[in-house]
Amino acid sequence: METENKFETIKNSYKEMKVSKMIVNGKEQAGNIISAEDTKDTQQLNVTIYTKND
């Protein structure tokens, strides 16, 4: 029960944002999905997300 309350508190404090562009391991991605090729044979991803201002 306490875990559910914490989840609701966290969930309510975040808002959905539109992605302007996303850079994964130094390469700009089209869209907002990280492709499987970018995760193959790696243990760590460096992701930078730029959001659109509403």
- Long-range residue pairs from 40-49, CB within 8 A, at least 24 positions apart, any chain: 47/22, 47/23, 48/22, 48/23, 49/19, 49/21, 49/22, 49/23
pLDDT tens digits for range 33-45: 888 887 888 889 9
pLDDT tens digits for range 9-41: 777 777 788 888 999 989 888 888 888 887 888
Give yes or no for a contact between 49 and 19, defined as CB atoms under 8 angstroms apart: yes
Separation of first and last alpha carbons in the chain: 36
Q: Which two tokens stand for residue 47?
A: 């992701």
